[in-house]
Amino acid sequence: MGPHPTVAAIRLAVRRVLNDVLGSSPDPNPLVLAACSGGADSMALAAALAFEGPRLGVRSGAVTVDHGLQDGSAMRAQEVAGRLRALGLDPVDAVGVTVGRQGGPEAAARDARYAALDAAADRFGASAVLLGHTRDDQAETVLLGLARGSGIRSLSGMAAVSGRGGRYRRPFLLLDRDTVRQGCLAQGITVWEDPHNHDPAYTRSRVRHEALPVLEKSLGKGVVEALARTAQLSRDDADALDQWAADAQADAAGDDGSLDVRRLATLPAAVRRRVLRRAAIAAGSPPGFLFARHIEEVDRLVTGWHGQKALNLPGGVAVRRANGRLVFSPS
């Protein structure tokens, strides 16, 4: 008798990613790590990696990150590490981090987590790190992007492959949360439910437990699938526009990095604003603090020029119009 249907679906999703890693890695036996919090999604991911990895010649390990935000979190991280080792994963590492305050608690925790995962991948020489985000997580991300009003890139959600050199892989983006959790039940896997997932102080928790249920009650089932599909369509559009913007920036840029205003003015607004954002980031403005309102002000130097003074952007970057060019420089 074969595995439970949910287990089979989970393993198939992981197998596809591992085959992709094997096809792109120069190492014939690459190391792949599962990022695991101890929750159902990531434990299902770790179990599937432990099952599929040895069959494909992939060395399989895991990392669990202790954010230090709850009493007993260090002990819990060690318990999770023990369960991961019991699955046969090796190496397994439990990493403690200090969560700052920049960007709010959720963003700060995410930044600390990814920094720890990057460091672990570098330390062990891992070819990839698997993340347990599901289709439901993708839908939540799209709603959060829509609420921020920050453009099509935010609506594109999480990429199946991201990070430096395509390090991060998300096998479960086409699987719903219930399927993944049923897979844990079918295998008798012990999981830990993070109380932050139900804490209304966190925006994502409110989206998960309040906003999405209201949408499904009002619009019917299928909202999660529709939002996840929107993410993929938006990602395709955003990728195409980003490539157009990269080409347009190269065409408009001078040797000093300044941009020809006349060439910018001929571009569609969506492309031009991407060019301006790229130029600001290249000059040192941090992406996480460069908002749409900043780019709109810079855009007025192209479309509504009436002798404005230089604009100051986050990161100590100034942009001014001079001699028909936009110049980005330290303020």
250 appears as a binding residue in the annotation:
no
104 appears as a binding residue in the annotation:
no
40 appears as a binding residue in the annotation:
yes
| Token representation of residue 27 | 């190492």
57 appears as a binding residue in the annotation:
no
Instruction: Give buried/exposed letters for 251-282 (b at 16+ CB in 10 A, else e).
Output: ebbeeeebbebebbeebeeebbbbbbbbbbbe
186 appears as a binding residue in the annotation:
no
37 appears as a binding residue in the annotation:
yes
Listed in sequence order, the DSSP H helices in the chain are 5-24, 40-56, 73-86, 105-124, 135-148, 152-155, 177-187, 203-206, 212-219, 223-252, 261-265, 269-282, 292-303
* In contact, 140 and 212? CB cutoff 8 Å: yes
Residue 91, preceding bond cis, omega within 30 degrees?
A: yes
CB atoms within 10 A of CB 137: 23
| Token representation of residue 93 | 């590492």
* Residues contributing to the annotated binding site for ATP: 37-42
* Residues contributing to the annotated binding site: 37-42
